[in-house]
Amino acid sequence: MYITDEAKQLLEKSGAVGIRLYTVPSSSNGPQIALAIEEPHEYDRVQTIKGIKVAFDPSVTGTEILTLDKEENENGVGLVLTGPGSYS
């Protein structure tokens, strides 16, 4: 997984200690990967990427091709997860 400098700055500014990736059901293409700002769960795999603690639910695979970036739109500023199977 790649975290852009802009996403890292946004996480640090918000005071988040880490993020967690997990899967959610999808009606069309199987499970989608979702993102939450929360502590790791008991069975998560945890890595530190660019100084950010990232927890991966055991059901999440293929994370090496995901990118976490900052997104600005009419609703404000937030994080977006891009790549195959991401939910954004």
pLDDT in tens, 6-46: 999 999 999 888 899 999 887 777 788 889 999 999 999 99
The pLDDT value recorded for residue 52 is: 93
Supply the CATH classification number for the domain 2-82. 2.60.300.12
For residue 59, the 8-state DSSP code is T
Tell me how far CA of residue 61 lies from CA of 18, 37, 56, 65, 74, in angstroms. 19, 19, 9, 10, 32
pTM of the full structure: 0.83
Q: Which two tokens stand for residue 42?
A: 């008991």
CA proximity to 18, closest of 39, 1, 34: 39
The helix/strand/coil state of 36 is strand
